[in-house]
Copies of this chain bind each other. A is one copy, B any other.
């Protein structure tokens, strides 16, 4: 971000811009959304947008930052207790439910994390986050099933993350069947981990 908003009014403006961007990215996609459209929807002159953001990607970046912060919160809450001690059922609930909820509440998340053709820098940041998540899942798997070889556990973690992503997409497509689909995914994971 180009200039950090200090006064209350500026903060509101920046928030308005991000909200507008979120809504537009969600329904139109990143490439299809124009900076002018964002500014118009936020009811802010385009020049003001560029006072706070370097460029279009900067807006996406800030939006991602907002998402990441919430994600970090979620992680901290999730791992506040000793998850390794939990029974598998409860563990799966705790690992999956909050993230599904988060996904449903963050309309542009999917588009930005998956669809958008962002710059290298951003892509790398995303990749780092991905790896962190995978490491965490990996730890959980190892804790649950110490008998599994570390290498294999890593592949399992990768697959698990990919499946959860797929679940997100599925839930977005059929929001009314969210619960059943989530339940089914948990069953699948459970069978997988107990096999």
Chain A contact residues, CB within 8 Å of chain B:
28-29, 31-32, 115, 117, 152, 155-156, 158-159, 162-163, 165-167, 169-170, 174, 177, 180-181, 184-185, 187-188, 190-192, 194-195
- Distance in angstroms between the alpha carbons of A123 and B92 in the assembled complex: 34
Which residues of B sit under 8 angstroms from A156, Cβ to Cβ?
184
Could you jot down 25 A-B contacts, CB within 8 Å?
A29-B31, A29-B117, A31-B31, A31-B32, A152-B184, A155-B177, A155-B180, A155-B184, A158-B170, A159-B167, A159-B170, A159-B181, A159-B184, A159-B188, A162-B163, A162-B166, A163-B166, A165-B166, A165-B169, A188-B188, A188-B192, A190-B195, A191-B192, A191-B194, A194-B195
The 8 closest A-B pairs by CB, nearest first: A166-B166, A191-B195, A162-B166, A191-B191, A31-B31, A188-B192, A162-B170, A191-B192
How many copies of this chain sit in the oligomeric assembly? 4
Least distance between A10 CB and chain B CB atoms (Å)? 15
Across-interface contacts of A174 in B (CB, < 8 A): 158
The smallest beta-carbon distance between A121 and chain B, in angstroms, is 18
* Alpha-carbon separation in the docked complex, A181 to B156 (Å): 8
Query: In the bound complex, what is the Cα–Cα distance between A11 and B152 (angstroms)?
Result: 48
| The residue from B152, B163, B187, B191 contacting A163, defined by CB atoms under 8 A apart | B163
Whether B187 contacts A158 by the Cβ 8 Å rule is: no
- Distance between Cα atoms of A184 and B29 in the complex (Å): 32
Q: How far is the CA of A115 from the CA of B30 in the complex (A)?
A: 11
